[in-house]
Amino acid sequence: MTKKYHHEVKLVKVGEIKANKYNPNVFPKNMMEQLVKRIKEEGFLQPILLRNIKKENGYKYEIMDGEHRFIAAEKIGNYEELPAIILDKNLPEAMIATINMNKLRGEVDVLKLAEVFHQLHKTYSIEELEEKLGYNTEEQAGLENLLQYDFGQLGDKEVLPNEENKDKIQEFKLMLTTKQMKILNKAIDVANKEDNTEALITICLEYLKHGKINS
């Protein structure tokens, strides 16, 4: 039987809110700076999710989702109340919800992101987008470079360097999510080569031939 929850939407005093001790989400310093900047410019646009707790040291609510938005609001300093949704959950349910909320956020489609940046560059300068989105000049250039590469030209044939260009050094930048980076590192381990460059070449060639890495 599905449990029915009774949630409440309200403004909550900042001094009545505390962070939980089980949030696994780590927020890099540069992302926090960007979050603070966005809230300063646009206001607090997304409510935090809280649960009722036994009142202690003035705290009445514990954060389940939105801890970094809460910290950003504290850093800004002019928020006395924050929009919140109070969820009817006990501690084990709250721990599961916190992990799920961090996990179920999807991943960035890098090519689609590159297309969005390409459109935005028609309106904003690189410096303006770095200010608004936190992507530096090098990252934006890497995204634009992706759009110049025709992935469809590979086809199903094995790709090998020709004699004329085989020793020429070329640079190809690619932005990966944490999950994608873990997959790549695992593939490099499976390739079992002396250096990462040789391993990556092996991975690409094996994928083009078979669609997988032979282990």
Per residue in 130-156, pLDDT (tens digit) is 888 888 898 888 888 877 765 555 445
* Residue ending a domain, choose from 40, 75, 103: 103
User: Domain check: are 79 and 60 in the same one?
Assistant: yes
Assess if residue 26 is contained within a domain.
yes
pLDDT of residue 10 exceeding 50:
yes
> 196-210 and 178-191 helices cross at what angle (nearest 10)?
90
**Count of Cβ atoms closer than 10 Å to residue 67 Cβ:** 20
Of the candidate ranges 40-44, 109-113, 199-203, the one whose mean pLDDT is the lowest: 199-203
Q: What is the pLDDT of residue 154?
A: 44
Assess if residue 168 is contained within a domain.
no
pLDDT of residue 168 exceeding 50:
yes
Averaged confidence pLDDT in the chain = 82
Assess if residue 173 is contained within a domain.
no
CA 155 to chain centre: 31
Residue 129 is part of which domain span? Answer: 107-155
Which of the four pLDDT bands, split at 50, 70 and 90, describes residue 215? very low
C-beta of residue 14 within 8 angstroms of C-beta of residue 50: no
User: Domain check: are 26 and 14 in the same one?
Assistant: yes
The reported pTM is 0.61
Number of domains in the chain: 2
| Spatial separation of the C-alpha atoms in residues 193 and 201, rounded to whole Å | 10
Give the strands of the sheet with 17-18, arranged side by side. 8-13, 81-87, 48-56, 59-65, 17-18
pLDDT of residue 9 exceeding 90:
yes
Per residue in 65-98, pLDDT (tens digit) is 999 999 999 999 999 999 999 998 899 999 988 8
User: Domain check: are 113 and 135 in the same one?
Assistant: yes
Assess if residue 188 is contained within a domain.
no
Using a pLDDT cut of 70, give the percent of the chain over it.
Answer: 80
Of the candidate ranges 20-34, 43-57, 100-114, 170-184, the one whose mean pLDDT is the lowest: 170-184
Per residue in 107-125, pLDDT (tens digit) is 778 888 888 988 999 999 9
| Spatial separation of the C-alpha atoms in residues 213 and 204, rounded to whole Å | 9
Q: What is the pLDDT of residue 5?
A: 66
Q: What is the mean pLDDT of residues 39-43?
A: 93
Q: What is the pLDDT of residue 59?
A: 95
CATH of the domain at 61: 3.90.1530.10
